């Protein structure tokens, strides 16, 4: 798995818009990684998340979803997890 496409010239990207829909920024505050649509965050931050938050995200996850097709249930789980991240960073 690689999250770093910055060494490829932008012109070589076959479809920049598809690429942006198929990945999203890691939701952890201040994290610069982009992560694939099927993952909630970059790997270290995913495993930093307590198990109940990960379980809630998986329970609401719909295969093939993108940031534009999130269900309300997924958004709820996402917001709860982001709130937890913000509490860690604020410490």
Interface with Zn ion (CB under 5 A): 26, 28, 31, 33, 41-42, 45
Q: How far is the CB of 71 from Zn ion (least distance, A)?
A: 23
Cα atoms in the 13 Å half-sphere on the side-chain side of 26: 20
Question: CB-wise, 39 or 42, nearer to Zn ion?
Answer: 42
Question: CB-wise, 25 or 52, nearer to Zn ion?
Answer: 25
Q: How far is the CB of 41 from Zn ion (least distance, A)?
A: 5
* Cα angle value 49/77/45 (rounded, 5°): 25
Query: How many of the other CB atoms lie within 10 Å of CB of 84?
Result: 15
């Amino acid at each position: 798995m690689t999250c770093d496409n910055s060494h490829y010239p932008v012109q070589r990207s076959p479809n920049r818009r598809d690429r942006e829909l198929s990945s999203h920024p890691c939701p952890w505050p201040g994290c610069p990684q982009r992560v694939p649509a099927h993952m909630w965050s970059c790997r270290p931050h995913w495993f930093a998340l307590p198990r109940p938050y990960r379980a809630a995200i998986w329970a609401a996850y719909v295969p093939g979803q993108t940031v534009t097709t999130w269900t309300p249930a997924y958004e709820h789980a996402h917001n709860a997890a982001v709130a937890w991240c913000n509490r860690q960073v604020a410490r």
